[in-house]
Structure 1
Amino acid sequence: MAQHAESDERPRRSAGEARAQVLGVVAGVVRWVGLAFALVLVIHVILTVGSANPANGITSFFADVADPVALGFKDLFTPADHKLSVLVNYGIAALFWLIVSAVLARVIRRFA
């Protein structure tokens, strides 16, 4: 019976604390997803500007993943130089993901 009494003395988390913890985790996931998207875009920019072999598996992987992540930014500006186009458009997309994920994470944490 003494063991049962000890387990009842453990502090229990309130619903508000549990909610805050869950929302904190969700905010962290949102932030990490935004960072991952930005990282993919930046790597694609580096590989393109650095003239990496487009037939290489790594280069094509990052190009394939970066295209949908860039959303509508991938053809926002259309300079004649392809490298400049990738640098500007995918760079703006990377900044977009960093800013949006930071703002969303902050908003989610406010509800915690």
Structure 2
Amino acid sequence: MAEDVGSGAHHRGVHRAELRRARTRVVGALIIAVRWFGTLCAALLAIHVVLTVGGANPENGITRFVAYWADPLALGFQELFMPEDPKVAVLVNYGIASIFWLVVTSLATRVLRAIA
């Protein structure tokens, strides 16, 4: 009888350890996904800044693609500052949005690590 009780406790302990490992793997994968997503958003905004400040052709397919995706990713930062030069406005506002994504991504990954 004592063996049955010990064996059940051992089985529950093994099951808990497996659940912990699974949770750690899932949270680890989520951290990687969040980091990639946030970095991609920040990079896209930075590329938009470079293309705009560098004077890229606004009718070019690449420039249009980047601008199309950069606008929603700027999350309201597009018109935070209104300098007279539109290139400076893009540099400042989209630059701040890019930094915002990096900060939020860093905070989100720290929170997720704390959960793991």
Please state which band the TM-score falls in when normalised by the shorter chain: 0.7 to 0.9
Bigger radius of gyration: 2
Structure (1/2) with the larger helix percentage: 2
- Give the gaps of 5 or more residues in structure 1: 1-10
- Give the gaps of 5 or more residues in structure 2: 1-13
1:71 is paired with a residue whose SS is: coil
Q: 1:87: Cα distance to partner?
A: 0.2
Give CA deviations for 1:67-104 in whole Å, capped at 9, x if unaligned: 00001101100111000000000000000000101110
Once residues 101 and 62 of structure 1 are traced to their aligned partners in structure 2, the CA distance between those partners, rounded to angstroms, is 20
Q: TM-score, normalised by structure 1?
A: 0.87
* Seq. identity, %: 53
Equivalence for 1:6: none
Equivalence for 2:46: 42
Higher relative contact order (CA 8 A, sep 6+): 1
Task: Look up the equivalent residue of 1:91 and give its one-letter code.
Answer: G
Give CA deviations for 1:46-79 in whole Å, capped at 9, x if unaligned: 0000000001111111011100000110110011
* Aligned length, in residue pairs: 102
Quick check: 1:64 aligned with 2:68?
yes
Q: TM-score, normalised by structure 2?
A: 0.84
